[in-house]
Amino acid sequence: MIINNSPHDLCCIDLEMEAIARFRSLVPFLPKQCRVFRVLEKECPILCLDFTDCPAELPSNLTDFAFLLALSSHYLRLADILMFKVNDEIVARTTRSEFEAN
């Protein structure tokens, strides 16, 4: 099988997967069914947490939950913006700086 991606692209994908795996290890309370991925919006990385497969696991009060996720994401340099989704609907969006203000 021939892979059309360059070695650089594959290395970046591997790094991304490793960073997300480390993120999950820092936040073991995150449900395994929650899909975690990054997207770029205006060249700014956003960490998406998609609860489509486990909507009941999304806490009704995201404050403490989001704070720990934001700290872990920032620590790994994944993103400073978190987006919580269920299906294609954005349920909440938060930034690390919102927590620093408090």
Give me the CATH code for the 7-100 domain, please.
3.30.70
pLDDT band at residue 99 under the 50/70/90 scheme:
low
DSSP string over 50-89: E-TT-GGGS-S--HHHHHHHHHHHHHTTS-SEEEEEETTE
Strand partners, 11: none
pLDDT of residue 9: 56
Q: What is the DSSP letter of 30?
A: S
Give the tens place of pLDDT for each residue, 18-72. 999 999 999 999 999 999 999 988 889 999 999 999 998 888 777 778 889 999 9
**Could you give the percent of the chain with pLDDT greater than 90?**
53
Sequence ranges of the domains in the chain: 7-100
Q: What is the pTM of this model?
A: 0.81
